[in-house]
Amino acid sequence: MSRRIWFSALAMAGGSFCLISAVKVTVLYDNTIHTPGTRADWGFSCLIESSGHTLLFDTGTLPYILADNAKKAGVDLGAIPQVVISHGHRDHFGGLPAVLRVASRGIRVYIPPNLPEAMRQKIAAAGGTAVVPQNPLTLEGGMMTTGFLGDGIPEQGLILMTGKQNVLITGCSHPGIVNMVRQARTIIKANVDVVLGGFHLAGHSQKAVTDIIRQFRLLGVRRAGPTHCTGEAAIDAFRKAYGKNFIAMGVGRVLELE
């Protein structure tokens, strides 16, 4: 199937879809530092810019750290019209007030069903709209959510398709990183070439991590950028396995994806 034909993905997403020519991903919150002068903290957030649209995926833990890292990266939080929260853990939604304080009225926040009521009220008070996607959803700029997976901790990822490579961004992968890759492949009817974000492998045995890397290979994942809750041992295993195709993450990291 040609990567320029996405009628199946469109039908499942329930919206119009446009192919992204290029994507820029800027990491604003992470456990490690990539760019000197930024601040590391437990949590994850990245800004995605595509086709003239911007989206914030997750918001980290503390509003002031998110705001400070965004300022140092030259990112205007007040210009963000849409936010996707992967799941209902504070290290992924805790920084949201930093965005809501400066957001334009009408901001849309795509939230998990278990987001605390207090945070929903803050979204409403800022003139925003909280949306709980029931299915995979196409957003502005041609970006697409995976829909929520998992019985215990519902979580959604973000899919980006450029025509040359398909990208999956995850927050913590509580439903299982391999399951999330498979879900993305089912939606777009094609391989996921690049996977970035938290893989939730801290504490996993070396054997388990090696098996996950093997499954990545079988599923067609050509590049990997594990971070946050992946765990240092697992990150090192991916680094060794992927070599030049390993993507080092960290606050301030900017990825240009064609």
For 114, the enclosing helix (H) or strand (E) is none
Q: pLDDT, tens digit, for every residue of 117-146?
A: 999 999 999 999 999 998 999 988 779 999
Residues 199-228: pLDDT tens digits? 999 999 999 999 999 999 999 999 999 999
Picking from 161, 131, 160, 135, the residue whose alpha carbon sits closest to that of residue 149 is: 135
Q: Are 28 and 251 in contact (CB under 8 A)?
A: yes
Q: Which residue has the tokens 């810019």?
A: 49
Domains of the chain: 4-257 (3.60.15.10)
Contact 92, 200 (CB under 8 A): no
Residue 258 has pLDDT above 80, yes or no: no
Local confidence band at 8 (pLDDT 50, 70, 90 cut-offs): very low
* Residue of 11 and 177 predicted with greater confidence: 177
Higher pLDDT: 13 or 160? It is 160
pTM over 0.75: yes
Least Cα distance to 159 among 201, 111, 195, 131 occurs for: 195
